[in-house]
Amino acid sequence: MTHAAPYIRARTSSRCAIAIWLFVVAALIFAMVVIGGITRLTESGLSITEWKPVTGTLPPLSEAEWQAEFEKYRQIPEYREKNLGMSLTEYKAIYWWEYLHRLWGRLIGAAFLLPFLWFLLRGHILSGLAWKLGVVFLLGAAQGALGWYMVASGLVDRISVSPYRLTAHLALALLIFAAVLWIALDLVRPNTRGIDGRALALSCLVLLTIASGGFVAGHDAGMIYNTFPLMDGSLIPPGYLDLEPWWRNGFENPAAVQFNHRVLGMATALLSLLYWRAARNDATGAAYAVLVVALLQASLGIGTLLLEVPVGLAALHQTGAVALLTASLVAAQGGR
């Protein structure tokens, strides 16, 4: 027994250290989603027209390098059809958001990989956890490639990125965030109560609602029907099923895309209320957090719509979405 105690303490210490590392990574991914949202809102995502994972770490450092980057941007449809006549100063304003977005992605990669290798080589990560973290790293690498695949869709024939690729990029980021957060939570408080199925279902609905927001962003659908709760005087907007075949409307018809996001948002708020009502007798802090964040998020969404998508408020709306996903995952994992 005298020899077992230090081993147990060491293992407990390792779990805490790994959990802290993963919470930091989760926070970085949270920030990345918000930065990505601002990059989209400021229409900055196509300002860097090449993918250089290593040499692209440094921004232009001279006037000649800035002119060279600007000249590349001037060759794509977005410049010719939307931003013709843009000055170098205006170009720099959108460049820096996309540069920050890419740099933050590299930071997340380093913040995950280097500690992972250190913990693994020192024997602090057992095989059951190692494969999970290995999968997370592979998903992160795929996310980087998917990000470039998204950008590439707007460099030749379009003046914006594909809404399908934009939504896939957002959804994968959220899945990676959820996985990292879940593993970290399990390390600091192994769940002996079992998964809360109601909260897990809510988490899935939150993910679906955020993904539908990707299509709203991809089609600039928040810039139309800026009234609530009616859309052009109707609950269901005119032209909801204009496209053929019918299923395309949910992904390519801006009116239908916005309506679907509204419905999912209201369903999320309602389910959050019902979850809190069912869980409140257990006095769970997580249930109260879910309710408060859900109501705040719904308010931010309505405000963003009514004010025609101001960047600051829209960024807060996206922040609230990830915060709600966080709260619902904590509740699902057995948070008290």
- Quick one: three-class SS letters along the chain? CCCHHHHHHHHHHHHHHHHHHHHHHHHHHHHHHHHHHHHHHCCCCCCCCCCCCCHHHCCCCCHHHHHHHHHHHCCCHHHHHCCCCCCHHHHHHHHHHHHHHHHHHHHHHHHHHHHHHHHHHCCCCCHHHHHHHHHHHHHHHHHHHHHHHHHHCCCCCCCCCCHHHHHHHHHHHHHHHHHHHHHHHHHHCCCCCCCCHHHHHHHHHHHHHHHHHHHHHHCCHHHCCCCCCCECCECCCCCCCCCCCHHHHHHHCHHHHHHHHHHHHHHHHHHHHHHHHHHHHHCCHHHHHHHHHHHHHHHHHHHHHHCCCCHHHHHHHHHHHHHHHHHHHHHHCCCC
C-alpha span between 192 and 175 (Å, rounded):
24
- State yes or no: pLDDT of 189 exceeds 80: no
What would the two tokens of residue 286 be? Answer: 């997580």
Q: How many Å apart are CA 159 and CA 141, to the nearest integer?
A: 26
pLDDT tens figures, 91-129:
999 999 999 999 999 999 999 999 999 999 988 888 789
End-to-end alpha-carbon separation of the chain, Å?
33
Domain limits, the chain: 1-190, 195-336
Nearest Cα neighbor of 226 from 296, 314, 160 is: 314
- The whole-number pLDDT of residue 143 equals 96
The residue-averaged pLDDT of 19-33 equals 97
Q: What is the pLDDT of residue 241?
A: 94
Mean pLDDT across the chain, nearest whole number? 91
Give the pLDDT mean for 159-180: 96
Is a pLDDT exceeding 90 seen at residue 15? no
Least confident range of 217-231, 270-284, 297-311 = 270-284
- Rounded to an integer, the average pLDDT of 189-212 is 88
| Residues in contact with 140: Cβ distance below 8 Å, sequence separation at least 6, in sequence order | 108, 109, 112, 176
Contacts of 223 by beta carbon, 8 Å cutoff, 6+ apart: 308, 309
Most confident of 6-20, 56-70, 278-292: 56-70
Residue showing tokens 């409140």: 280
Tell whether the model's pLDDT for residue 9 goes beyond 70.
no
Provide the pLDDT for residue 10: 41
Contact in structure between 332 and 185 (CB atoms under 8 Å): no
Taking residues 50-79, what's their average pLDDT?
92
75-89, 115-129, 281-295: which has the minimum mean pLDDT?
Answer: 281-295
**pTM for the full model?**
0.92
Q: What is residue 124's predicted lDDT score, i.e. its pLDDT?
A: 87
On whether the CB atoms of residues 42 and 311 are closer than 8 A, the answer is yes
Is residue 295 within 8 A of residue 254, CB to CB? The reply is no
pLDDT of 334 reads 76
